[in-house]
Chain A
Amino acid sequence: MAAPLVLVVLAAVTVRAALYRSSLAAFIAERVEVASPLNAWKRVVEGLALLDLGVSPYSGAIFHETPLIIYLFHFLIEYAELVFMITDVLTAVALYLAIQDFNKVVFKKQKLLIELDKYAPDVAELIQTPMEMHYIPLKVALFYLLNPYTVMSCVAKSTCAISNSVIAFFILATIKGSAFLSAVFLALATYQSLYPLTLFAPALLYLLQRQFIPIKLKSRSFWLYTMQYASLYLCSLVVIICLSFFLLNSWDFIPSVYGFILSVPDLTPNIGLFWYFFAEMFEHFSLFFVCVFQINVFFYTIPLAIKLKEHPVFFMFVQIAIISIFKSYPTVGDVALYMAFLPVWSHLYRFLRNIFILSCVLIFCSFLFPVLWHLWIYAGSANSNFYYAITLTFNIGQILLISDYFYAFLRREYYLTHGLHLTRQDGTEAMLVLK
């Protein structure tokens, strides 16, 4: 499978290089859907320039990147385009390897459950075969590399690509089973943007499953392993933060990065839900609503962990999607990361109910974003409500997409254990409904 992957990588690199040389690069770099105050390239350049002038880059609310990014780009700023292309390629390769391993795990588990007679007799058509799973890793890499969102994000040189890369390596480490590496990469991902903290739960569940430790609250080995993983994670996080302190000899980066992510002071429009609300909110209530909105990201972890404890990788997918919808400064690069996983669940296609409408909604909204931005800012014939409407529609489309996949996944699991032709007590055909 290496050759097709190399071909895909070459195609992706060509597309990006072509776009870098064209005039579209400047246009894409300043679009608010692609570059947010957290990951815009011109802010990185500004921060490094401030540093050259002897001023802390965190003074003034321009620069919100972590010190490790300062270190990385201090040496690589002349090769920035190459860095971002290589990052994208690394992400795709990491996802490819991760999904390859995941497929093996899925297949093994399926075989075990068939032999244990856990599946109903008439579900032969629902079982995944190695033949159809053979091309999934390549499709994942393809979906990530050639997704227009990723391409735009790379051409805009948004550091979202680096966050995605770290998360991809975290997923690779988790699926390979190495708790230490997984904790280290999760700490890096949390350090980079705060929200991957919620990925702790699915990673833990996956590693527990891999060690064959049952997930019972009373089990001693469960708590032991959890403590081990948590301490690995927290120690790495502390070490990374302390190391960042030594870069500039100050703790300035903590309010600039994490304070900024949590308190959302910058209300530049983006594809998220925060800016419009906080633009029209009274000061008196803003603290309350900031807390409510931020809890919304972390809130779904526990219920999903309870429901999806047998399927931690699907849980990870849903969690990444929830992060990219509800985070304070989302960009299309975040959306691209969870969309890369969609081929893994392609066997759920027959159970998806709204996929046509949702894909239409997402495509139309993506095209309408620049149109309504132009109408609002340049033509003056629309106002922020128009742009916010498209933001809302886009996010609703994403949320419905995730819940559709969720429904389809659970429905398939139910059919697997209860058979395809469900009947009610009196023998008539029954319909499965998600309550």
Chain B
Amino acid sequence: VCTSRFWFNYRHVANTLSVYRSVKRLGIPDSHIVLMLADDMACNPRNPKPATVFSHKNMELNVYGDDVEVDYRSYEVTVENFLRVLTGRIPPSTPRSKRLLSDDRSNILIYMTGHGGNGFLKFQDSEEITNVELADAFEQMWQKRRYNELLFIIDTCQGASMYERFYSPNIMALASSQVGEDSLSHQPDLGIGVHLMDRYTFYVLEFLEEIHPASQTNMNDLFQVCPKSLCVSTPGHRTDLFQRDPQNVLITDFFGSVRKVEITAEAISLDRDRAGFESKFPEEELATEPLKYAEQLPVAQIIHQKPKQKDWHPPGGFILGLWALIIMVFFKTYGIKHMKHVF
């Protein structure tokens, strides 16, 4: 979820797209990803490299790519929509791509970035979500059995305040900075004119680029990403609600979709005759008369139209009065003797 709009918040969109990219690369399909971007940076009129979002200043990595599927875009990224997605209390007309169709065997990764403060995260420059609301949303999810394990990553200023209030089991949380600290951006690109990434997510991305679906890297390594020397802020994590030991939790448990494959050498036979395999073709439609467009603009009639009869005529008294005046003026000027020529 990227919660900030406007061009100068380019880095938040780049953050979110980097994590999206890593997660897709490691096997999670778009049908299992809900991507919320509050503004369009790739096609922003101020983007000198349209249709791209870069994460590194030498434009090494275009995290926008060709197959980004944004589910909630622009003004749809609101606190209400976010909470509805989490809790599943969503209007029936919502398409599947906008729903979180998770059950009690699902591991959910939630990555949020934007501008935040002590206990809140700002959405769209006009509203906020508080850590209490977030904690309650997660409790709703737990009670509705909507997750098995949940990993919450947040990259904002004072991000650790957002996970302080969680009380539901099986939640592990990471944040880019402690309460009272600001999360800093990584580096600006002078060609594009804005900061491209935040430090914490930059190093997380660097870390995730090393991960492949078979890697055995565990959460403890993720906790070591971005020490204070690189990040300036102190990243924090919370594992007390989590039942397994972080040492045993693989990165790919949350970031990738790794199937447990069982290889067998036995052959399995499939039945040849299966019922209900008739092809159903629609019957011939009845022959009707050929269809054509209705005559909406009878051009031939319009061209040869006679001018309309005028409905209004000046009143007789007016015409009489006007012409009487004109004749009077004429005779006053030129004399009565012309009257015989007129009559």
CB distance from A232 to the nearest CB of B (A): 10
Within 8 A of B (CB), among A3-56: 51-54
Q: Mark B292-331, 1 if CB is under 8 A from A, else 0.
A: 0000000000000001101111110111011001000100
Check if A215 is an interface residue, CB within 8 A of chain B: no
Check if A371 is an interface residue, CB within 8 A of chain B: no
Q: Decide if B310 touches A74 in the complex (CB within 8 Å).
A: yes
CA distance A52 to B307 in the complex (A): 13
Q: Decide if B307 touches A243 in the complex (CB within 8 Å).
A: no
CA distance A243 to B318 in the complex (A): 7
A54-B312, A74-B310, A78-B307 as given contacts; A184 in contact with B329, CB under 8 Å: yes
Q: Which of A78, A181, A246 contacts B318 (CB 8 A)?
A: A246
CA distance A243 to B314 in the complex (A): 12
CA distance A54 to B310 in the complex (A): 11
Q: Decide if A181 touches B312 in the complex (CB within 8 Å).
A: no
- What chain B residues lie within 8 Å of A178 (beta carbons)? 333
Q: Decide if B329 touches A247 in the complex (CB within 8 Å).
A: no
CA distance A246 to B317 in the complex (A): 7
Q: Decide if B315 touches A52 in the complex (CB within 8 Å).
A: no
- What chain A residues lie within 8 Å of B321 (beta carbons)? 243, 246
Check if A249 is an interface residue, CB within 8 A of chain B: yes
Check if A71 is an interface residue, CB within 8 A of chain B: yes
Q: Decide if A243 touches B325 in the complex (CB within 8 Å).
A: yes
- What chain A residues lie within 8 Å of B311 (beta carbons)? 52-54
CA distance A211 to B60 in the complex (A): 98
Q: Mark A240-269, 1 if CB is under 8 A from B, else 0.
A: 000100110100000000000000000000
CB distance from A231 to the nearest CB of B (A): 15
Q: Which of A51, A78, A243, A246 contacts B312 (CB 8 A)?
A: A51
Q: Decide if B308 touches A52 in the complex (CB within 8 Å).
A: yes
What residue of chain B has the Cβ atom nearest to residue A51's Cβ? B312
- What chain B residues lie within 8 Å of A243 (beta carbons)? 318, 321-322, 325
CA distance A390 to B19 in the complex (A): 58
Known: A51-B312, A74-B312, A243-B321. 9 other contacts (CB 8 A): A52-B311, A71-B319, A180-B332, A180-B333, A181-B333, A243-B322, A243-B325, A246-B317, A247-B318
Q: Decide if B307 touches A247 in the complex (CB within 8 Å).
A: no
Check if A61 is an interface residue, CB within 8 A of chain B: no
Q: Decide if B310 touches A247 in the complex (CB within 8 Å).
A: no
Q: Which of B308, B315, B325 contacts A247 (CB 8 A)?
A: B315
Count of A-B contacts judged by CB separation below 8 Å: 39
Q: Decide if B315 touches A249 in the complex (CB within 8 Å).
A: yes
CA distance A68 to B325 in the complex (A): 13
Q: Decide if A74 touches B333 in the complex (CB within 8 Å).
A: no
What residue of chain A has the Cβ atom nearest to residue B320's Cβ? A246
- What chain A residues lie within 8 Å of B314 (beta carbons)? 70-71, 74, 247
Q: Mark B38-61, 1 if CB is under 8 A from A, else 0.
A: 000000000000000000000000
The 8 A-B pairs with the shortest beta carbon distances in the complex, nearest first, are A51-B312, A246-B318, A247-B318, A52-B311, A181-B333, A243-B321, A71-B314, A52-B312
CB distance from A81 to the nearest CB of B (A): 16
CA distance A74 to B311 in the complex (A): 11
CA distance A239 to B127 in the complex (A): 71
Q: Which of A53, A71, A78 contacts B322 (CB 8 A)?
A: A71
Q: Mark A165-186, 1 if CB is under 8 A from B, else 0.
A: 0000000000000101100100
- What chain B residues lie within 8 Å of A71 (beta carbons)? 314, 318-319, 322
- What chain A residues lie within 8 Å of B310 (beta carbons)? 52, 74
- What chain B residues lie within 8 Å of A51 (beta carbons)? 312
Specify which of A53, A180, A243 lies most central, judged by the most chain B CB atoms within 10 Å of its CB. A243
- What chain B residues lie within 8 Å of A70 (beta carbons)? 314
Q: Mark B326-343, 1 if CB is under 8 A from A, else 0.
A: 000100110000000000
What residue of chain A has the Cβ atom nearest to residue B330's Cβ? A181
CA distance A249 to B317 in the complex (A): 11
CA distance A181 to B322 in the complex (A): 16
Q: Mark A71-84, 1 if CB is under 8 A from B, else 0.
A: 10010001000000
CA distance A90 to B314 in the complex (A): 26
Q: Mark A55-99, 1 if CB is under 8 A from B, else 0.
A: 000000000000010110010001000000000000000000000
What residue of chain B has the Cβ atom nearest to residue A242's Cβ? B321
- What chain A residues lie within 8 Å of B318 (beta carbons)? 71, 243, 246-247
CA distance A243 to B315 in the complex (A): 11
CA distance A54 to B312 in the complex (A): 7
What residue of chain B has the Cβ atom nearest to residue A245's Cβ? B318
- What chain A residues lie within 8 Å of B313 (beta carbons)? 74
- What chain A residues lie within 8 Å of B319 (beta carbons)? 71
CB distance from A178 to the nearest CB of B (A): 6
Q: Decide if B325 touches A239 in the complex (CB within 8 Å).
A: yes
- What chain B residues lie within 8 Å of A181 (beta carbons)? 329, 333
CA distance A274 to B332 in the complex (A): 42
Q: Decide if A246 touches B307 in the complex (CB within 8 Å).
A: no
What residue of chain A has the Cβ atom nearest to residue B315's Cβ? A246
- What chain A residues lie within 8 Å of B332 (beta carbons)? 180
Specify which of A53, A180, A246, A249 lies most central, judged by the most chain B CB atoms within 10 Å of its CB. A246
Q: Mark A273-285, 1 if CB is under 8 A from B, else 0.
A: 0000000000000
CA distance A176 to B307 in the complex (A): 44
CB distance from A43 to the nearest CB of B (A): 17
What residue of chain A has the Cβ atom nearest to residue B333's Cβ? A181
CB distance from A170 to the nearest CB of B (A): 13
Sample of 17 A–B contacts (CB below 8 Å)? A51-B312, A52-B308, A52-B312, A54-B312, A68-B322, A71-B318, A71-B322, A74-B312, A74-B314, A181-B329, A181-B333, A184-B329, A243-B318, A243-B322, A246-B318, A246-B321, A247-B314
- What chain A residues lie within 8 Å of B308 (beta carbons)? 52
- What chain A residues lie within 8 Å of B307 (beta carbons)? 78
CA distance A54 to B313 in the complex (A): 11
- What chain B residues lie within 8 Å of A53 (beta carbons)? 311
Within 8 A of A (CB), among B260-299: none
CA distance A391 to B127 in the complex (A): 49
- What chain A residues lie within 8 Å of B333 (beta carbons)? 178, 180-181
- What chain B residues lie within 8 Å of A246 (beta carbons)? 315, 317-318, 321
